[in-house]
């Protein structure tokens, strides 16, 4: 175990640590030595200052995404669940491979791989999906924490990783919590988008009902973009399709307000009222760029989180295929409808940060062989206590599909609530509720 740094932020004791793991887990077993190319797995150990040297149970956080790094806490309440968790656990915050400080992937990495060809790039990206991520974490548990069982807390995509963990290495997990992140098993990307596009229509309608003045503002901006001559500060062409991506935030709070204030600064002339003849302000363009740009791995891996083992058919741009059946999302429709958490082929042509991924994406979209991430039989006989927060109105992960999966997972318990959006765990109540439920059932008794 390599200790890189030890320090305090207000209310937290922090250790920065790193280990090496195989780039390719094929032929290797977590917890054992390995040969061949390796990468770094960076993680933080976070505790309350008064517990810095106490032997507390372990809780590992499975970050949402895909392609998301672990939280960088400012204090215990900056990511709400941490404040409760450090009362009971030593919290492990790993950066998933390819993110944060764990051999981050960006355009430079793809450019380095380009001479080897698109196939090499595609095969490299496959090594950064759930089957490898979970093996990294299991290797960490076995080698650096003496094989002690730990509790997992999965947010969004972290819930997908939870079911992978329970499929592959259930013996390493004492109990699991998930928040808005139970995937449908069997996995089918197109099925997911058949559920999410209708919810985007509902979210768009709700947005316009709350801020009716934005119907005209959004339409005027879209009409201005239709000329095809507007660019964002980074040089990307600003299209209506990219404008629609502002809706990807609509499943979180206070997203309606964030988007409303972006459009408030859209027009340069006069008092800033809607006008397709007015230049778009620099401030507006900068805000749109920031709101529609993403972590380097987020869009490239987005649909492949549903790729499980040997598939009957390739994914082939599932979101675009579903969108093509829904003319209400066309760029010329007014009022303009927003899209949600979905990637489209045009992104890898229009966005400079994604263009280096395009050759690999074209191949991956036709692939049918991926690592196994879910074992339905193992999940059916699961004995690890699983407590899931299912947000009834979740825009990203359909609550009905979550409950269908949970009905076929052993020892699973669902708390269904419409009080929170997809990011409810970032407040101070969701994890506290889940922890109390598990405690009251005796699920955590072996840990204490």
pLDDT in tens, 312-343: 999 999 999 999 999 999 999 999 999 989 99
Q: Where are the domains of the chain?
A: 2-187+373-447, 190-364
pLDDT in tens, 390-401: 999 999 999 999
Whether residue 433 has pLDDT greater than 90: yes
End-to-end Cα spacing for the chain: 25
pLDDT in tens, 205-250: 999 999 999 999 999 999 999 999 999 999 999 999 999 999 999 9
Q: pTM of the full predicted structure?
A: 0.97
pLDDT at 296: 86
Whether residue 2 has pLDDT greater than 90: no
% of the chain residues with pLDDT over 70? 100
pLDDT at 276: 82
pLDDT at 448: 83
Which CATH number applies to 2-187+373-447? 3.40.50.1820
Mean pLDDT (whole number) for 361-389: 98
What confidence category does residue 251 fall into, taking pLDDT thresholds of 50, 70 and 90?
A: very high
Strands 386-391 and 173-179, bridge-based pairing:
parallel
| Cβ contact 408:163 at 8 Å | no
CA 437 – CA 430 distance, rounded (Å): 11
pLDDT at 275: 87
Mean pLDDT (whole number) for 306-317: 97
Torsion (CA) 78, 49, 61, 177 in degrees, nearest 10? -90
pLDDT at 16: 98
90-94: strand order across its sheet: 2-9, 12-22, 38-47, 90-94, 58-62, 150-155, 173-179, 386-391, 412-417
Residue 399's CB: how many other CB atoms inside 10 A? 19
| Cβ contact 312:190 at 8 Å | no
pLDDT at 1: 59
Mean pLDDT (whole number) for 146-158: 97
What confidence category does residue 261 fall into, taking pLDDT thresholds of 50, 70 and 90?
A: very high
* Average pLDDT of every residue of the chain: 96
Residue 58's CB: how many other CB atoms inside 10 A? 18
Mean pLDDT (whole number) for 96-102: 98
């Amino acid at each position: 175990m390599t200790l890189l740094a030890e320090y305090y932020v207000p209310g937290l004791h922090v250790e920065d640590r790193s280990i090496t793991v195989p780039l390719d887990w094929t032929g290797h077993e977590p917890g054992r030595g390995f040969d061949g190319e390796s990468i770094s797995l960076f993680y933080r150990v976070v505790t309350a200052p008064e517990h810095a040297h106490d032997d507390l149970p372990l809780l590992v956080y499975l970050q949402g995404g895909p392609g998301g790094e672990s939280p960088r806490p400012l204090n215990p309440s900056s990511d709400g669940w941490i404040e409760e968790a450090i009362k009971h656990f030593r919290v492990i915050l790993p950066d998933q491979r390819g993110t944060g400080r764990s051999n981050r992937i960006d355009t430079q990495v793809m450019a380095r791989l380009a001479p080897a060809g698109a196939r090499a790039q595609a095969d490299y990206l496959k090594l950064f999906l759930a089957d490898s991520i979970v093996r990294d974490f299991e290797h960490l548990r076995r080698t650096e924490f003496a094989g002690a069982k730990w509790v997992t807390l999965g947010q969004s995509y972290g819930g997908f990783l939870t079911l992978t963990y329970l499929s592959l290495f259930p013996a390493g997990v004492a109990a699991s919590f998930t928040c808005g992140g139970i995937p449908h098993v069997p996995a089918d990307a197109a099925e997911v988008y058949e559920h999410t596009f209708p919810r985007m229509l509902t979210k768009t309608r709700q947005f316009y009902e709350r801020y009716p003045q934005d119907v005209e503002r959004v339409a005027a901006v879209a009409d201005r973009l239709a000329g095809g001559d507007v660019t964002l500060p980074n040089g990307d062409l600003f299209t209506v399709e990219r404008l629609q991506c502002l809706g990807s935030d609509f499943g979180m709070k206070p997203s309606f307000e964030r988007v409303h204030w972006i459009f408030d600064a859209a027009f340069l002339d006069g008092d800033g009222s809607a006008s397709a003849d007015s230049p778009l302000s620099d401030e507006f363009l900068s805000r749109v760029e920031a709101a529609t740009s993403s972590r380097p791995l987020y869009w490239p891996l987005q649909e492949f989180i549903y790729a499980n083992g040997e598939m009957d058919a390739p994914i082939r741009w599932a979101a675009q295929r579903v969108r093509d059946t829904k003319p209400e999302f066309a760029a010329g429709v007014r009022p303009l409808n927003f899209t949600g958490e979905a990637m489209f082929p045009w992104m890898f042509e229009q966005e400079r940060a994604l263009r280096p991924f395009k050759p690999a994406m074209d191949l991956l979209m036709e692939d049918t062989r991926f690592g196994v991430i879910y074992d339905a039989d193992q999940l059916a006989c699961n004995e690890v206590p699983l407590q899931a927060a299912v947000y009834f109105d979740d825009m990203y992960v359909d609550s009905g599909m979550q409950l269908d999966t949970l009905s076929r997972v052993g020892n699973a318990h669902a708390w269904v609530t419409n009080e929170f959006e997809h990011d409810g765990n970032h407040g101070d109540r969701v994890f506290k509720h889940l922890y109390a439920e598990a405690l009251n059932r005796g699920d955590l008794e072996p840990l204490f």
